[in-house]
């Protein structure tokens, strides 16, 4: 009867050790991805989970249009100077 208790205790300890090692293995951090150089005229697409750098005419047209819209929207925006008290 004592043999069964010792066997169960050893099995429980073994299971706890294996569970702790599995938890450690699953919680370790992966290395960070390589940095992507940012250059004018290129777009970086992260939709696939990876940084894909591309340069094509359609992207450039969209970027130019968005920039013009932002400039038009902010052309009449002014800020009042801070009053000195």
The pLDDT of residue 39: 75
CA angle 40, 45, 46 (to 5 degrees): 130
Averages of pLDDT over each 10 residues, the chain, 85 residues: 86 96 87 77 76 80 91 89 78
The pLDDT of residue 1: 64
Q: Say if pTM beats, i.e. exceeds, 0.85.
A: no
Domain boundaries, the chain: 2-27+39-74
The pLDDT of residue 21: 94
Q: How deeply is 65 buried, as exposed, middle or buried, from its count of CB atoms within 10 A (0-12, 13-18, 19+)?
A: exposed
């Amino acid at each position: 009867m004592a043999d069964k208790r010792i066997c169960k205790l050893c099995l429980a300890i073994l299971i706890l050790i294996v569970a702790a090692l599995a938890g450690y293995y699953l919680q370790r951090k992966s290395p960070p991805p390589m940095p992507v150089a940012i250059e004018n005229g290129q777009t970086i697409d992260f939709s696939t989970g990876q940084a894909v750098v591309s340069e094509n005419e359609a992207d450039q047209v969209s970027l130019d249009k968005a920039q013009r819209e932002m400039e038009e929207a902010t052309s009449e925006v002014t800020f009042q100077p801070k009053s000195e008290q």
